[in-house]
Structure 1
Amino acid sequence: MDFIQIIVLALIQGLTEFLPVSSSAHLLLIPVFTAWDDQGLAFDVALHIGSLAAVILYFRQEIARMLLAWIDSLKHRRLSEDGKLAWAVILATIPVGLAGVLFNDFISQTLRSPIVVALGLIGFGILLGVADWKHRGNKTEYQMSRTDVLWIALAQALALIPGTSRSGITITAALFLGLSREAAARFSFLLSIPVIALAGGYETLGLVRADVEVDWLAILLGAVVAGVSAYLCIHYFLVFIRKIGMQPFVAYRVILGIILLWLFI
């Protein structure tokens, strides 16, 4: 891979992993405008590592409190607010993990088409707009009930549908349940940690089994660029939605979906 390809792919991964705009939609556009070869499994793993490092670094204080509280809940059967949030992240990961195991082949073979991605962008984008406009409230991530966590967990499983956006659908569900914009986004980012780790682990297994030559310079550069862009994305996204909201992302999704329909129909 050349320098431009590494930078572009890493930026796309770092930004679209956390913005509610769907990474699959943007990856579909790359072969339309370029003649780039597939970047390979090793590079995919590096990009996931960069994104994972970014979200862990950004929420390091919250994660440390949650981890200690979770361990305390196992040892002493005491459940603090941080302990509840840690269990919420763990339990909300189960449905998407099961769905990935059960339906990954079907989704890969049947749903990974530009039309499905475009419809997902538009449909789930409009749903995000409705949730942000009519249903957002003032609850924090610490005030979620078990039912709230269940609904967000089930919504996250829908992210396997191309064009949905994992962050987009979890934020949408959280807004419908009365969380504030910032709380919905923060919980979505915390949920990304086990999901990215699982995805990266799955790809790492494939990499270990494959006998491929690794371009270590591309791996390192891609991981760094993805990590830095993801970190900045998380920070400025939280600032942006506090002041402006989700509607610009809704408009972007709808416009991108229409472009995809125009290109591929």
Structure 2
Amino acid sequence: MDLIQALILAIVQGLTEFLPVSSSGHLVLPAALLGWKDQGLAFDVAVHFGSLLAVVVYFRRDILSLFTAWCTSLAKREASDDSRLAWWVVVGTLPAIVLGFLFDDFIEAHLRTAWVLGTTTLVFGLLLAFAQRFAADKSCRDLTLMMVLIIGFAQALALIPGTSRSGITITAAAFLGLSLFEASRFSFLLSIPVISGAALLKSLDLFGAEAAIDWMVLVSAMALSGITAFLCIGWFMRWVERIGLVPFALYRVVLAMAIFATAYWQV
């Protein structure tokens, strides 16, 4: 595993995992344009754990409050805003788990192409810009079961490469009237069980692999991905309501054109 390539891809992963710009689109371009080889399963596990640590550390106070309230709701049957939000995170995660189990093989076999990647990057990027018009002042306290299920099924669409998990969940939440800050907050909280599950599954696959593991590269990639993702989350949460979603949508249009051009050039 090439150290420089791994570190560059770790930074790319950290920058794009939580921004609504499609991390898969950014990871496929260096490989296509520069002829870089796939860094392998161990690398995927490392950078996913880095991203997971970043979001857990950033939202550590929220997580502690939600978990405490959730446990209280189970033990004493006392509901609160925090306990309801904790349950909404659980409910919002279920569609991605179910649909991922049912369609993962099909997606892996038929939808991991540059043309699909470019199309989803473009279409969902335009939808992201359109959703900003509907963002209002609702908060996570205003979420209902139907709203959470809509956001949850939107998150499941991110199984299709190029959709962007954060992008599609923020889009759905904005369409439902949440403020951009609250839509982003709920999106990032939803990411924790999803990224945890993905990292766990990849880790289990890794136990059956026989390839040698370069631990120095993996630890470096995980740390760099985590630090970059943490800084990126902080910046996005501070600025999303000031700059809106349109700049990210325009960036996705440019990225989609680059993906299409790369796919056409390789034909």
Alpha-carbon offset, residue 226 of structure 1: 0.4
In structure 1, C-alpha distance between the alignment counterparts of 2:211 and 2:4, rounded to whole Å: 22
Q: How many residues align?
A: 264
Instruction: Answer yes or no: is 1:81 the counterpart of 2:81.
Output: yes
Alpha-carbon offset, residue 191 of structure 1: 0.5
In structure 2, C-alpha distance between the alignment counterparts of 1:57 and 1:259, rounded to whole Å: 34
Which residue type is aligned with residue 31 of structure 2?
Answer: P
Partner of 1:100: 100
Maintained 8 Å contact 2:69/2:80 = yes
Partner of 2:237: 238
Which residue type is aligned with residue 71 of structure 2?
Answer: I
Per-residue CA distance 1:186-245 (angstroms, 9 max, x = gap): 100000100000000010010011122111101110110000000000000112212111
Maintained 8 Å contact 2:16/2:22 = yes
Per-residue CA distance 1:110-163 (angstroms, 9 max, x = gap): 11111111110111111110111x200101112211111111011111111111
In structure 2, C-alpha distance between the alignment counterparts of 1:213 and 1:4, rounded to whole Å: 18
In structure 2, C-alpha distance between the alignment counterparts of 1:218 and 1:41, rounded to whole Å: 13
More deviation, 57-66/144-153: 144-153
Hey, which bits of structure 1, 4+ residues long, moved more than 2 A? Answer: none
**1:160 is paired with a residue of what secondary structure?**
coil
Which residue type is aligned with residue 236 of structure 2?
Answer: F
* Structure 1 stretches lacking a partner, 5+ long: none
Maintained 8 Å contact 2:21/2:121 = yes
In structure 1, C-alpha distance between the alignment counterparts of 2:38 and 2:243, rounded to whole Å: 37
In structure 2, C-alpha distance between the alignment counterparts of 1:3 and 1:264, rounded to whole Å: 27
Percent identity over the alignment is: 49
In structure 2, C-alpha distance between the alignment counterparts of 1:255 and 1:58, rounded to whole Å: 30
Which residue type is aligned with residue 130 of structure 2?
Answer: V
Partner of 2:156: 157
Partner of 1:259: 258
Partner of 1:126: 126
Alpha-carbon offset, residue 30 of structure 1: 1.6
Partner of 2:196: 197
Give the RMSD, CA atoms, in angstroms: 1.0
In structure 2, C-alpha distance between the alignment counterparts of 1:89 and 1:14, rounded to whole Å: 23
Instruction: Answer yes or no: is 1:176 the counterpart of 2:175.
Output: yes
Alpha-carbon offset, residue 57 of structure 1: 0.3
In structure 2, C-alpha distance between the alignment counterparts of 1:104 and 1:196, rounded to whole Å: 15
Alpha-carbon offset, residue 37 of structure 1: 2.1
Maintained 8 Å contact 2:31/2:38 = no
In structure 2, C-alpha distance between the alignment counterparts of 1:263 and 1:31, rounded to whole Å: 11
